[in-house]
Structure 1
Amino acid sequence: MNAPSCHVSRQGTEPLESASDAPTAPPPGGMGFVIEGLGTALPQGRLEQAQTARALARISGSDPAKYAALFRRANIQARHFALPPDVLSDLVEGTTHTDSPFVPRPGSDQDGPSTGQRMKAYSQFAPELALRAARIALEEAGVAPETVAHLITVSCTGFAAPGVDLALIEGLNLPRQVQRLHVGFMGCHGAVNALRTARGLAAVEEDPQARLLTVAVELCSIHFRSRPDPRSVVANALFADGAAAVVGRGERHATAASLPTGSGYRVVDGGAMLFPGTAEAMTWTIGDHGYEMTLDPRVPEWIGAHLRPWLEPWLARRGLGLESIGSWAVHPGGPRVLDATAEALGLPSEALAVSRQTLAELGNLSSPTILFLLERLRRRSAPRPVLALGFGPGLAAEVLLLE
């Protein structure tokens, strides 16, 4: 074989009101956030899904055929991982040429590396990935780093202080006075939270030249566990690594030339909903051997019960209906999440084609995935407005409306 190229819930049927459900007029003109540049980045290491299944089955002592069958249900072809190619090669080949704690040794703890070792890997590999995405976004926008007045970072797979934010300031030569904000532990909809925050900051920023840079980076794979329990297998089959960034400014400061036409987006509104009685539906907790995820098999059922009763009125208060949405950027948490969303909203199969394709080609990158979807929709000149939708611990749904 060649070396790899490198969450007792009570159920309810009536959604609870949230602050974002209060009667709201359409957003006033000039209050949007204009995305001037968007960049994405993936690690060098790439494994076919079958390779990953065989490696993890061997490490966990599981039946390879059963493990492979579970992995095929994810509808993923390949994923990118941040661990170095030689470490991935050891994992695939069953060798121990590297001294990486991610490569199991005979008699080693089946729980894998300690949380400290996993955080060390995060600190080593996340900054470079974040920098690559940010550089692409800045270059596309033609924006000088010294104009970046606000830096928003997003991640739920690692923490360090100083961390990715400082690496971005140093690596991009951002102003020492840049104002920082971190959106942490929000899960797969983290980039939605960040862009909604960017819109709020842009609305009060007085400097017409000031830009806001948002960078989401996740190394989900450093939390893979080799124990053959169902929760670990599901996470191992779905998640991958990547980064994405956007740079932009408030609509009131953007010139006519920089307003979105065929390529950029304008973030015009956002909303959130906590589904009642689902606090244990999806969890992401810090353990002694990395972060541990639980995912209740009833998540699609709860999406079916709560999403449309909340989203339809939310859109109606903005003068829109489900049929008004030109394109959908639904975070591909997994095939069943996409199926449940499409069924709940009555969407045709092609409405989520980009989400399904992204899942197949890249896996679930957690927070950066929404930005990958926006980039793919943009390249296709997909119809607008776009509704970006993600789910996370809560169980929560978060949305963005983009034009």
Structure 2
Amino acid sequence: MTMCVGPASSGVRNPAATGTAKIAGIGTAVAGEAYSQEEVLEAFGIDDTKVRSVFLNSAIQRRYLTLPAPGDDRARVQETQGELLGKHKALAVDMGARAIDACLKDMGAALADVRHLCCVTSTGFLTPGLSALLIREMGIAPSCSRVDVVGMGCNAGLNALGVMASWSAAHPGEPAVMLCAEACSAAYVFDSTMRTAVVNSLFGDGAAAIAIVSGDQADGHADDPPAPAAGRPRLLSFASHVITDALDAMRYDWDGDQGKFSFFLDPGIPYVVGAHAELVIDRLLSGTGLRRSDISHWLVHSGGKKVIDAVRVNLGLTRHDLRHTTGVLRDYGNLSSGSFLFSYQRLVREGVTRPGDYGVLMTMGPGSTIETALVQW
């Protein structure tokens, strides 16, 4: 299954429809405290050797989390679903506002320049949506168009970016901002099961915002709003694939025993994603004249050590190719929909891209889904 602007049979959105959209700025933010895996185990008094092994063999050194306070007996207080939703709202607004501010500063733009705001989240449900809350909180113009993408999971950043690119192409010169705000510690259930151990060992809190603009402003031919910084890539095309046989392999559903929503990851997910990675990338590059070896920069979702290894092996990539993916996992854990943007920010700061370089963005999540984008500097 694909999401297309061009011919449905191609499985790739038409580059002509999105080719003028260019990344103009990036900003990130985290919340809570930085915890090592050992500190999380200690905080919840986890002694089970199998559970401890999951945490300590995750290739994660630290994560930013907002954990419940200890009670009188020093045990962490269990939060109700209502309290978790309240946490999600507070963290998403706080992190989101800081990420958007950083993104606009990177672009050299102001809040008044924003014409479209897209907010992505899967760690809580809000009505009115996060976009409306941020417009009020930050003082963004009430006339700013907006959309909220809720519940799509770790792949959702690229789902939304594809739609944003189409919006940008239809509104040349008008800056659009996409925010991925994931308060993963507001989606935790703490019990003794291996199901929750896998999730609790992996995810962290973080937000990332990216600005795009098309038309003359994207090429630096106009001064209002500010042109994007030099060396930022164009969004050329997108391709996606839903692995329908693994529809339930990643899901967020109700746990009646806990009275909370709970996330589930099937142990076979790394192999499912790895086995389909080539198919999606080949479709993305089809008709471009490019081979995988022509791609200079790979920015893949930090889904977990086994997922990253499966993608690397199946696509024939090197550890250097995925250095930012593994670095983000090490320093932040899995940040869900915003992970690939944290990797993109590291690439920008590294300063190694050259005009003409091609890059691939890749995310994976519930569906099970693989989303990809082709960019060029």
Paired letter, 2:15: P
Q: 1:388 corresponds to which residue?
A: 361
Q: Is the 8 A contact 2:155 2:366 kept in 1?
A: no
Percent sequence identity over aligned pairs: 27
> In 1, Cα distance between the equivalents of 2:100 and 2:32?
17
> In 1, Cα distance between the equivalents of 2:113 and 2:206?
26
Q: Is the 8 A contact 2:239 2:280 kept in 1?
A: no
Q: Is the 8 A contact 2:274 2:307 kept in 1?
A: no
How many Å apart are 1:26 and its aligned residue? 6.5
Q: 1:134 corresponds to which residue?
A: 100
> In 1, Cα distance between the equivalents of 2:298 and 2:19?
22
Q: 2:83 corresponds to which residue?
A: 117
Among 33, 40, 44, which residue is 1:52 paired with? 40
> In 2, Cα distance between the equivalents of 1:318 and 1:254?
22
Q: TM-score, normalised by structure 1?
A: 0.83
> In 2, Cα distance between the equivalents of 1:32 and 1:285?
39
1:315-340, Cα deviation, whole Å (9 max, x unpaired): 12222211111111110111000010
Q: Of the two, which has the highest radius of gyration?
A: 1
1:28-57, Cα deviation, whole Å (9 max, x unpaired): 38733222211000114111111002223x
How many Å apart are 1:66 and its aligned residue? 3.9
Q: 2:175 corresponds to which residue?
A: 211
Q: Is the 8 A contact 2:58 2:305 kept in 1?
A: yes
Alignment of 1:98-177 (within 5 A): 103-104=76-77, 112-177=78-143
Asked whether 1:310 is paired with 2:280, we answer yes
Q: 2:333 corresponds to which residue?
A: 363
How many Å apart are 1:175 and its aligned residue? 1.2
Are the structure 2 counterparts of residues 149 and 278 from structure 1 closer, same or farther at C-alpha, using a change threshold of 3 Å?
Answer: same
Q: TM-score, normalised by structure 2?
A: 0.89
Among 172, 194, 212, which residue is 1:248 paired with? 212
Q: 1:200 corresponds to which residue?
A: 166
List structure 1 segments (4+ residues) > 6 angstroms apart after TM superposition. none
Asked whether 1:378 is paired with 2:342, we answer no
Are the structure 2 counterparts of residues 30 and 299 from structure 1 closer, same or farther at C-alpha, using a change threshold of 3 Å?
Answer: closer
Asked whether 1:319 is paired with 2:319, we answer no
> In 1, Cα distance between the equivalents of 2:243 and 2:151?
18
Are the structure 2 counterparts of residues 272 and 287 from structure 1 closer, same or farther at C-alpha, using a change threshold of 3 Å?
Answer: same
Among 325, 328, 333, which residue is 2:303 paired with? 333
Q: Is the 8 A contact 2:18 2:165 kept in 1?
A: no
1:175-202, Cα deviation, whole Å (9 max, x unpaired): 1111111111111111111211110101
1:107-154, Cα deviation, whole Å (9 max, x unpaired): xxxxx4332221111122220110000011112212122221111000
- Secondary structure at 1:267 match in 2: strand
1:269-308, Cα deviation, whole Å (9 max, x unpaired): 1111012411122112244643312222222222232221
> In 2, Cα distance between the equivalents of 1:116 and 1:353?
38
How many Å apart are 1:400 and its aligned residue? 1.4
Paired letter, 1:193: N
> In 1, Cα distance between the equivalents of 2:304 and 2:13?
34
Are the structure 2 counterparts of residues 67 and 281 from structure 1 closer, same or farther at C-alpha, using a change threshold of 3 Å?
Answer: closer
Number of residue pairs aligned between Structure 1 and Structure 2: 362
Q: Is the 8 A contact 2:18 2:237 kept in 1?
A: no
> In 1, Cα distance between the equivalents of 2:203 and 2:341?
16
Paired letter, 2:31: P
> In 2, Cα distance between the equivalents of 1:314 and 1:387?
9
Asked whether 1:63 is paired with 2:47, we answer yes
Are the structure 2 counterparts of residues 131 and 316 from structure 1 closer, same or farther at C-alpha, using a change threshold of 3 Å?
Answer: same
Q: 2:25 corresponds to which residue?
A: 37
Are the structure 2 counterparts of residues 120 and 370 from structure 1 closer, same or farther at C-alpha, using a change threshold of 3 Å?
Answer: same
RMSD, aligned CA:
2.3
Are the structure 2 counterparts of residues 287 and 163 from structure 1 closer, same or farther at C-alpha, using a change threshold of 3 Å?
Answer: farther
Among 42, 63, 66, which residue is 1:79 paired with? 63
Q: 1:290 corresponds to which residue?
A: 260
1:51-103, Cα deviation, whole Å (9 max, x unpaired): 002223x2xxx5254433221121111100135xxx45x38x9627xxxxxx3
Asked whether 1:344 is paired with 2:328, we answer no
> In 2, Cα distance between the equivalents of 1:290 and 1:223?
9
Among 242, 245, 268, which residue is 2:236 paired with? 268
Q: Is the 8 A contact 2:29 2:207 kept in 1?
A: yes
Quick check: 325-334 or 160-169, which moved more? Answer: 160-169
- Secondary structure at 2:125 match in 1: coil
